[in-house]
Structure 1
Amino acid sequence: MKDLQEYMLPCLNKTLFGVDCTGCGAQRAAVFLFQGEFLKAFQMYPAIYSLVFLLLFLIFNLFVKFKYDYSIKIGLIIFNAVVIAVAYILKMYHIFQLTN
């Protein structure tokens, strides 16, 4: 069986500009998640669990509709955006501190 990492797509932003994008690490985090490496998945991409929860909710909501589903979706999307943004800012700050 081939390693899943052989099939990962390269980050176009990092390839062209040499800077991580807000999604860098998500593929590797998903691989870690599938392999049962839950802490490594979180360390690689902190938003992995909130994104999985959002995805599961969206799939569930395809089949089951209820009163406040739209508000919950918007809340989860905003929460994910905040987690992704904060993780990215902290990552860039850490990289900046290491280079100076």
Structure 2
Amino acid sequence: MFPCLNKKLFGVDCLGCGLQRSLVLLFKGEFAAAFQMYPAIYPLLILLFFLGFNFFIKFKYDLLIKVSLTIISLLTIVVSYLIKMKFIFN
């Protein structure tokens, strides 16, 4: 797996730390472990699948769906990161 450059240089996890390991766990069928490793894995996958599907088939409210899924994904990433950092620095 690719090492996290941010963690190597500064010793602090980045917002994407755990994504690779979460994908590996997901491919192994360990869905709960994948979520525990990186909680934003499922919103990101839903967003990516929708973007791929929307590339071929257009919807009436596709922009609203894309923006909503992006906001949900970003909020999940930031909130899970803040929770992880709180537990690390306490």
Same fold by TM-score greater than 0.5: yes
1:14-25 correspondence to structure 2 within 5 Å: 14-25=7-18
Describe the SS at the equivalent of 2:53: helix
Partner Cα separation in structure 2 for residue 49 and residue 62 of structure 1: 20
Determine if the alignment matches structure 1 residue 75 to structure 2 residue 68.
Answer: yes
Q: In the alignment, which residue of structure 1 is the partner of 2:28?
A: 35
Q: TM-score, normalised by structure 2?
A: 0.98
- Runs (5+) with no aligned partner, structure 1: 1-7
Q: What is the root-mean-square deviation in Å for CA atoms of aligned residues?
A: 0.5
Give the alignment partner of residue 92 of structure 1, picking from 79, 85, 88: 85
Query: Stretches of 4+ moved more than 3 A in 1?
Result: none
Task: Count the aligned residue pairs.
Answer: 90
1:53-68 correspondence to structure 2 within 5 Å: 53-68=46-61
Shift of 1:27: 0.3
Partner Cα separation in structure 1 for residue 31 and residue 4 of structure 2: 23
Does 1 or 2 have the higher relative contact order (CA < 8 Å, sep 6+)?
2
- Overall identity of the aligned pairs, in %: 62
- Runs (5+) with no aligned partner, structure 2: none
